[in-house]
Amino acid sequence: MISKSAQAPSPLQNPSAEMGRVEELVTSLPVATICFDVNGGFICANSEFQALMQGSSIDFQRLSRDELCAQLESARDLPSLTPEVGVFGAKQAPAVELSQLSNGRVVELLERTLKIEGVGEYKLQQWVDHTPMARSCSETESEMRLLLELINQVPDQIYFKDVNSRFTRINPSLAKRYGIASASEALGKSDADYYSKEHAQQTRAEELEIMRTAKPVFNQMHHEVWDDGSESWNISTKMPMFNSKGEVVGVTGISHDITEHKRREADAWRQANYDSLTTLANRNYFLQQLSARLTHAKHTGGQFAVMLLDLDQFKEVNDSLGHSQGDSLLVHVAQRLVHVLRDTDLVGRLGGDEFAIIVEFSTIEQLDPLLTRLLSEIEQPVDLHQAQVSVSASIGVAVFPDDGDTPGELLSHADEAMYHVKGRGRAGYSFYSSELSELTKRRLRLASDLRAAIGTEQISVVYQPVVSAHYNRIVGAEALCRWSHPELGEIPPSEFIPLAEQTGLIQRLEDWILDTVLQQLVQINNLNVSPVRISVNISPLRIMREPKRLSELAAELDSLGVYPSQLVIEVTEGLLLEATEEVLELFDILNKQGLVISLDDFGTGYCALSYLMHLNIQQVKIDRSFVERIDIDANSQALCASIISLAKTLGLSVVAEGVEEEVQRDLLSGLGCDYYQGFLFSKPLKPEVLMQKLAEQRQHEELVLTGDGDSANL
């Protein structure tokens, strides 16, 4: 008990018995209490008040009511310790008015008037200590602020609804989804204000069930389509809300937007199943669909065709115009395939320039018109900006159930049929048959055996002489490759040369042939006969892709002591249509080095005659198909005459291939042909036989004292 009686004398002190009663009363109160007289003078305070004020700056020696109130008034007012009305539906009373003393205690000040009969009137102040409650409220308010901040900052959409499914609060993320500026705009509204009628009804039904059962629903997937056509996906969790009595008063939910994840998932699926260049099904997805359709057809008794389509000149386009233009060509072809096929058909790109198609049909007769249209569409010219390109396609067809009942069998048999088309000249289609399997087995075996045969005695070079029309003497020869298989016998060049091109063995084979021919020229020159020329056929693929050795041939010839003009490089007419700047430059290099370039099979392709005016070639060879009919077909004779006349005008020499009859020779001689090659003069000879004939020819010429170096004019 603190009182004036324990302090220095004061005029305010009242020692009467009644005053003792006041002090006794104040002391008995359990709440910190202080008593003042009517003038505000300090009278007494109980021990609870003293404990409350411990550590404060209050000076009891000079304490008065006004001084104490002034100190309270200067104390820092605490902020509201209760949530605002309406937050999450809260409806609490306003906060108690509190103040904080300098010692950190939080108090509520209550003032009372005490009247004692016969003594007078006193003022009591009771200071209720709310420090524990204030701290708890402060912690609660802090947690509330953190919760609000979390709800407002989290990217997930959070909402609270009443029993009528109307929003009582939403966070900014959901407001953004709804396209509204402030979350408060959604208060009192429902899903019907933002979604379609069907979606709103579905959501309401779900929430009614949650409120009825008082059970939450986790990880619901929602797919939403908005008015502008855009789509969104989210995973939603919804929970019932309860009041203090445990009654359901609404629903709260949180939705996690997985739209971007779904888009990435869809992109990943597309990348895994569709070709990025053409947007067609890729190999993986095509095989999946083929397996699925196969299973379906087995159950329903249906039938379908698997087609493999390969572009015939794609590599040449890629090499000559570049990969970007090659890609553009593939895109054009893909679009044309989709245009021709039906929605129920499936077309995929298996890789490179190979496409695969699944076509369902009722009768197999339906396939021929479709295949014809596919080929026609592909053959239409394509404008690749740098050039207008035309390509053809080879298509192989296998039919379920006749040609196989597994994806592997159908694709393998379609592949065999496609290679059959390529083997017979490309630009067409073929259905699989059991006979093709035997051809495929042979082709696979020959491809394997050819790799081992190159450089062995199985592969040899023979030489068919070229004879001067003016002097009837051998002035050269064409090198022809032969393959004598130890088990299969003689393999014709028309079979193994295309095989070498398809398997990538052509460069190795031609290098071996060149090495053999160069050594043969060395041996011929050592006979001291008049120089002869040997012509070597070079594949267009070799010229387009691996021209390095060709450009260095002059140096090889010089090191061997062979004249460059003794080697003739024969190229097919078709190469000219695909000739790049690099190929033309190679022709210039070979020409300047003294090598001879001959255009083989002239007249059988689509080469414009104007090409001859711009190319560094020295010779053309009339194809045997015209020579063999020159005596019975006026058109063949006219064509031979035109070729010879044009060549003479351009200063080119002419060789006629396949001369087998004297009448053919005589007609060609009358037209001015320079050289002959054919069975009328000689079959292809082994190297030693050619050497013998050249030696005999020299002996004969020495005997008759003839020969004016005609070979130098070949």
Read off the pLDDT of residues 233-264 as tens digits, 9 standing for 90 and up. 888 889 999 988 889 999 999 888 888 888 88
Taking the CA of residue 76 as centre, how many other CA atoms within 13 Å lie in the half-sphere pointing to its CB?
7
Q: Does residue 21 register a pLDDT over 60?
A: yes
Read off the pLDDT of residues 439-480 as tens digits, 9 standing for 90 and up. 777 887 888 899 999 989 999 999 999 999 998 999 999 999
pLDDT of residue 707: 46
Mode of pairing for the β-strands spanning 106-116 and 120-129: antiparallel
Better-predicted residue by pLDDT, 107 or 664: 664
Read off the pLDDT of residues 283-340 as tens digits, 9 standing for 90 and up. 999 999 999 999 999 999 899 999 999 998 787 777 767 788 888 899 999 999 999 9
| Whether 107 contacts 4, CB under 8 Å | no
| Whether 464 contacts 664, CB under 8 Å | no
pLDDT of residue 306: 95
154-263 CATH, one of 3.30.450.20, 3.90.1170.50, 2.60.40.420, 3.40.366.10:
3.30.450.20
pLDDT of residue 92: 45
| Whether 502 contacts 451, CB under 8 Å | no
**Domain residues of the chain, as ranges?**
2-138, 154-263, 274-432, 505-691
Question: Which two structure tokens, joined as six digits, stand for 516?
Answer: 């053999």
- How does the average pLDDT of the chain come out, rounded? 83
Question: Which two structure tokens, joined as six digits, stand for 46?
Answer: 């109980």
Read off the pLDDT of residues 124-151 as tens digits, 9 standing for 90 and up. 888 888 877 767 666 666 777 777 777 7
Partner residues linked to 656 by β-bridges: 622, 676
Strand ordering across the sheet containing 304-311: 346-351, 354-360, 304-311, 393-400, 428-431
505-691 CATH, one of 2.40.160.60, 3.40.1280.10, 3.20.20.450, 3.40.50.300:
3.20.20.450
DSSP-assigned letters across all residues of 40-59 = SBEEEE-HHHHHHTTTS---
How would you write 461-526 as a 3-class SS string? Answer: EEEEEEEECCCCCEEEEEEEEEEEECCCEEECHHHHHHHHHHHCCHHHHHHHHHHHHHHHHHHHHC
Read off the pLDDT of residues 51-106 as tens digits, 9 standing for 90 and up. 887 766 666 656 676 667 665 554 555 544 444 443 343 444 445 677 777 777 78
| Whether 63 contacts 42, CB under 8 Å | yes
Distance separating alpha carbons of residues 562 and 554, to the nearest angstrom? 9
- For the chain, give the number of residues: 714
Q: Measured in whole angstroms, how far is the alpha carbon of residue 515 from the centre of its chain?
A: 45
505-691 has the same fold as 154-263 = no
pLDDT of residue 72: 58
- E strands present in 200-331: 217-225, 231-242, 248-257, 304-311
The widest CA-to-CA distance across the chain, in whole angstroms, is 178
Residue 672's pLDDT band, with cuts at 50, 70 and 90, is very high
The arrangement of secondary structure in 274-432, i.e. its CATH architecture, is 2-Layer Sandwich (3.30)
Better-predicted residue by pLDDT, 494 or 11: 494
pLDDT of residue 307: 95
Question: Which two structure tokens, joined as six digits, stand for 416?
Answer: 């065999």
Grouping H, G, I as helix, E, B as strand and the rest as coil, residue 248 is strand
Mean pLDDT of 348-371: 90
pLDDT of residue 224: 75
Residue from 229, 230, 232, 225 nearest 256 by CA? 232
The hierarchical CATH code for the domain 2-138 is 3.30.450
Distance separating alpha carbons of residues 652 and 275, to the nearest angstrom? 50
Alpha-carbon dihedral angle through residues 281, 287, 288, 293, given to the nearest 10 degrees: 100
Distance separating alpha carbons of residues 538 and 546, to the nearest angstrom? 11
Instruction: Indicate the pTM of the whole model.
Output: 0.52
Residue 282's pLDDT band, with cuts at 50, 70 and 90, is very high
Measured in Å, how far apart are the chain's first and last C-alpha atoms? 142
